[in-house]
Structures are given as structure tokens and as C-alpha cells.
Amino acid sequence: MAGDATPQGMQRLLNFYCWSAGAVPGGGRTLIDRELYLPQAWTDDRDRCRRAGIADEVAFATKPELARQMIERAIAARMPFGWVAADEVCGQHTPLRDWLGQQCVGYVLPVPKSFPVVTAAGKMRAHVLAARVPAAGWQQVSCGAGAKGPRCHDWALIATTSPAHHLLVRRPLTPMPRASGSWRSSPATHRRAPPWPS
């Protein structure tokens, strides 16, 4: 998502759907879809919307609802993809996580530190589980090149009582008071991506 605030106080946020061809020789990424997030104060004011060139049929939708619309369009277009990643707003939206599971779409979505996780040791909050990971349970991995070099973090994957769900925890290499967690789903039956065009 990208956004800015204008002097008139309108906040514009664009949700993007990015497609990455990591499994294709040569790889590549491209933006394939977008949705404009409009605050409800805007969609409730139809005159204001008309002045801004926003059609009358554009209704208020939350950011997770906009994300679902884009994913639905990608599925309908038979776009080959195996999983979805999004921000914290989507990660905290249970209906989106449930819908992705029903579609057999794997995902990695950030969750709050208070997110409840059920493991063989019992039900605990994500941050409690992260604190229990032994030193040998962390693996240093780069999430890509940044402006100042590789962006390396420590990562740990915590199993749950569901074979399809894991808690993926990331912590910075420099001492900081907290780690962040993502809820990872890898359904046993993935949505089958259509074959590549010949």
C-alpha cells in the first residue's frame, strides 16, 4: 500500500497487487492491479466524490475488502500464483484469512504480538512463543537488497497444532525489545495455478 495526505486533508491510499514470477526462468515482478482506498467520510459525501471524479457506484470498502477484490480478480483471470502477502491491516482481518483458506491460497500476513497461537505446548500469544525460541532456532536470512546493503533479519518458524499454519517470526539483528510475527498458511491442497502459456 502507498499513501499520502494532501493539504486538503484527503488521505489517498492505493492498494497494489504485485505478481512475482520467481519460479519462471528470468523471474520478474509487475504490478497487475490496484484499488483506491477512500475513507467513509468521502464515500458518504456523494457530491464531494462527483467533484473528484469518483463514480456514484463506488461504495466504501475496507482495505482487506479491497485486497480480496483484487485477489478474486486474479483468480478469475487464472493468474498463476501460489500465495499472498499483505500488511498488518489485512493480517488482523480474520474474514480475509478465512476466505484465503477457503480458496486454498497460502498466505503470509503480519499479526499483532497478542495473536493467540495453539501449539503442542498449549495456547500462547505470539510474542510469548517468540521469546521461547532457542538461539539455535533462529536463521539469518536477507529479505533483499536495501539502500544500505542486504536487509538481514533473524527468522524462526514455529509449528502449531494445525499442519497448515505456522507462526513466522522475524527479529532485527541489532538489539531491539521486540520481534514481529506473521501468520503463515500453507493449505494441504493449494489452489492449482493454471499452466504457463506455451
pLDDT of amino acid 194: 44
- Relative to beta strand 11-20, strand 106-111 is unpaired
Grid cell locating 69: 477484490
pLDDT of amino acid 134: 95
Please name the residue that has the C-alpha cell 503442542.
Answer: 120
pLDDT of amino acid 190: 52
pLDDT band at 30 (very low <50, low <70, confident <90, very high): confident
| Alpha-carbon torsion, ordered 67, 72, 78, 79, to 10 deg | 0
Contact 13, 36 (CB under 8 A): yes
Grid cell locating 102: 477457503
Contact 129, 117 (CB under 8 A): yes
Query: Which tens digit of pLDDT belongs to each residue from 136-153?
Result: 999 999 877 888 888 888
* 4: amino acid identity, one letter: D
Cα separation of 56 and 88, whole Å? 30
Percentage, residues of the chain above pLDDT 90: 44
Contact 140, 150 (CB under 8 A): no
Range 11-24 average pLDDT: 56
